[in-house]
Structure 1
Amino acid sequence: MTSSFNVHDAAGYEQLMGRWSQRLAPLFIGFAGLAKGEKVLDVGCGTGSLTFALAKSAHLGTIDAIDYSPVFVEAAQRRNTDPRINIRQGDACALPYEDGTFDRAMALLVLHFVPEAGKAVAEMRRVVRPGGVVAAVVWDHLGGMPGMRMMVDTVAALSEGGRQLRSRYCFQPMMQPGEMKRTFVEQGLSDVTETELMIRMDYQDFDDYWAPIAAGEGPLGKYMATLDAAERTRTDAAVRDAYEAGRPDGPRSFANVAWACRGVVADTRRA
C-alpha cells in the first residue's frame, strides 16, 4: 500500500480538505510554473483540486492525473469534461508511464501520505523529460496548521491514544523544514528550491469544521473511529470547547502554511 490517507467518501473529503486544496492549488501552480503546450502529470490527484486548476490554463497540452484511491478516481472522472484530461488509478511509487513522458510532474498534498516518499519523488523524476520540472507541496502539520493542531492537542490532553495520534500527525514524511528539499536533491533533481505557501481555512461554525472528522475522514477521522461512544462524546465536547474558545459558536478562520518544493530533471546524457 502506498498511501496512509484514510478516505470513505469523496464529499466528506471535500468538506475536510478538498475545498482548501482548491484554494492552495493556484499558489502551487504559480510556484511550479507552466509553459504553453506542456504535458503535465498530477500525482495523487484526489478529487481533482490540482487537475482542474491546471485545466484552467487553456494553453496546456495534456493533463494526466493518477491516484491510489478508487473513491477519488471515480469522483474526479465524474467531474471531468475536459478532453485534455485523463484520470486513472495507480501507484505513486510505480507510475504507469514511460520515462520522460511529461514536461512537469506535480503532487499537491500527497507526499506526506506516501510511506516511501523518496521513491515517489524518484518516479516523478523518471517520467519527466530532461529539463522538465518536478514539484510538490505538503502541509506543515507541526507548525503551520493551527486549526488541526487544535484538535490533536485537545485529544492529546485526553488520552495516551491522543498523544500517539499527535506524534504521528506532526511528524509525517516531508513536513520538516528542508526535508523535501533534501529528498529532491537525493533523488537527482537539480536547481532545487523550497518555499512556504499560505492560505486561510474559514469555517462557518463548529459543525462545518468537525463533521467530516467525526464521520471518519482523513487521519484525524480515522482516530475518531477507534473511540467508543463515551470517548467520542467526551472528545466532541472538548474539541468544541477549543473551537469556540469561550465565545458563541460561529465563523472561525485559521492560517495554514504549506512547504512547496521544485526541482529540474538533469540531462544525464550530458554527464
Structure 2
Amino acid sequence: MSSSFNVRSAAGYERLMGRWSRLLAEPFIRFAGLEDGERVIDVGCGTGSLTFALPQAAAIGEIAAIDFSPVFVEEAQQRNRDARVTIRQGDATAIPFEDGRFDRALSLLVLHFVPEADKAVAEMRRVVRSGGVVAAAVWDHFGGMSGMRMLWDTAAALDEEAQAPRSRYCFQPMTGPGEMRRSFVARGLRDVTESALTIRMDYENFADYWEPISAGEGPIGKYVAGLDETRRTTLNQAVRAAYEAGKPDGARSFAATAWACRGIAP
C-alpha cells in the first residue's frame, strides 16, 4: 500500500491537521459507538488523535493502533502512556491481525489517502467479529473544507499547474456523498449508515493558517513547497487577501465537514 498524504514531520502535521483530528475524534466516537471492555483497532492512527481519545470515552479492554507512516508511529508510541494501547507500523490494506480479533475497527481521516480504499474497508471487516462494528470518517474535500478549498481555488486561479492537484484533492477516494456507504455495502457490511460531522477550524491569524502549509505538509503543502520563490510569494499574498477578506489579520474560523460511515459485520 502507498499513501497519498505527504508527511515531513509529526509536529508539522499537528499544526496542519492533527489538532482538527482531535476535535473530530469525539463526535466520531459518538457516531461509531463504543462499549466498556471492547477490543478496538484504530486503522491509520496518525499521531494518535483517535487512539488516545478512545480510553477517555469508555473503559476499553484493548486498543491496537496501526499506521503506514513510521514518522506517525514513532510519535504516537512516544505519546502513549496506556498499557492497553499498542502501536505498530501496519498497512490498512493488509491489517496484521487475524480474522475476527476485534469488536470494532475504526478509521479516522485515513481512507481518502489510501489508493486501494475498498480493500482497506474489506480488511477492517475481516478483523472484526460477527456483529462487530466497522466505522470510518473522511473529510469532505469537495464541499466541506472551506479553509483548504480557499487555498486550492486561489492557487488554481493563479497557476494552471495547480488545477490537476486540486482535482485530485477534491475527488480523493471515499470523499463524495454516499461513496463510503456504497463501499461498505459492497464489502458485505449490513445496517450501513452515513452521516456528516462538522467541527470548526479556528486560526489565531494568517501565520497560524499558512506556516504549516508553507512548510510542505500534506497535499497542499507538497504543491506549495514545489513552487519557485516568485510564485510562492504571489500565492502567499493572494491567499492572505482571501483569508483576511478585507479586514485586519486576526482570528478566523472555517467549518470543516467529514463524512462518517458505520456498518455491522455479518
Common fold, TM-score beyond 0.5?
yes
Counterpart residue number, 2:61: 61
Pick which of 218-227 and 53-62 moved more.
Answer: 53-62
Counterpart residue number, 1:155: 155
How big is the shift at 1:162?
1.4
Residue 171 of structure 2 corresponds to residue 171 of structure 1: yes
Counterpart residue number, 1:223: 223
CA contact (8 A) 1:104 1:128 kept: yes
How big is the shift at 1:225?
1.5
* Equivalence map 1:228-243=2 (5 Å): 228-243=228-243
Counterpart residue number, 1:50: 50
* Equivalence map 1:115-264=2 (5 Å): 115-264=115-264
Counterpart residue number, 1:77: 77
Q: Which letter does structure 1 place at the counterpart of 2:248?
A: P
Q: Match of 2:167, SS?
A: helix
Pick which of 229-238 and 174-183 moved more.
Answer: 229-238
Instruction: List alignment gaps of at least 5 residues for structure 1.
Output: 267-271
CA contact (8 A) 1:4 1:113 kept: yes
Q: Match of 2:177, SS?
A: coil
How big is the shift at 1:37?
0.6
Taking structure 2 as the reference length, what is the TM-score of the superposition? 0.99
Instruction: List alignment gaps of at least 5 residues for structure 2.
Output: none
Counterpart residue number, 2:93: 93
Pick which of 38-47 and 162-171 moved more.
Answer: 162-171
Counterpart residue number, 2:13: 13
How big is the shift at 1:57?
3.2
Q: Match of 2:54, SS?
A: helix
Q: Match of 2:86, SS?
A: strand
CA contact (8 A) 2:109 2:139 kept: yes
Report the Cα distance in structure 2 between the residues aligned to 1:29 and 1:43, rounded to whole angstroms: 14
Cα deviation 1:193-250 (Å, max 9, x = unaligned):
0001000000000010011100000000011121111111111111111111111110
Change (3 A) 1:148 1:40: same
Q: Which letter does structure 2 place at the counterpart of 1:246?
A: G
CA contact (8 A) 2:152 2:166 kept: yes
Counterpart residue number, 1:32: 32
Q: Which letter does structure 2 place at the counterpart of 1:235?
A: L
Cα deviation 1:177-206 (Å, max 9, x = unaligned):
100000000011011000010000000000
Cα deviation 1:115-159 (Å, max 9, x = unaligned):
000000000000000000000000101000111110000001011
Size of the aligned set, in residue pairs, is: 266
Q: Match of 1:134, SS?
A: strand
Report the Cα distance in structure 1 between the residues aligned to 2:211 and 2:101, rounded to whole angstroms: 41
Q: Which letter does structure 1 place at the counterpart of 2:36?
A: K
CA contact (8 A) 1:2 1:92 kept: no
Superposition misfits of 4+ residues, deviation over 2 angstroms: none
CA contact (8 A) 1:200 1:256 kept: yes
Q: Match of 1:50, SS?
A: coil
How big is the shift at 1:2?
2.5
How big is the shift at 1:164?
1.3
Cα deviation 1:39-67 (Å, max 9, x = unaligned):
00000000000000002135110001000
Report the Cα distance in structure 2 between the residues aligned to 1:141 and 1:82, rounded to whole angstroms: 33
Counterpart residue number, 1:269: none
Taking structure 1 as the reference length, what is the TM-score of the superposition? 0.97
Q: Which letter does structure 1 place at the counterpart of 2:222?
A: K
Q: Which letter does structure 1 place at the counterpart of 2:48?
A: G
Report the Cα distance in structure 1 between the residues aligned to 2:27 and 2:57, rounded to whole angstroms: 14
CA contact (8 A) 1:2 1:93 kept: no
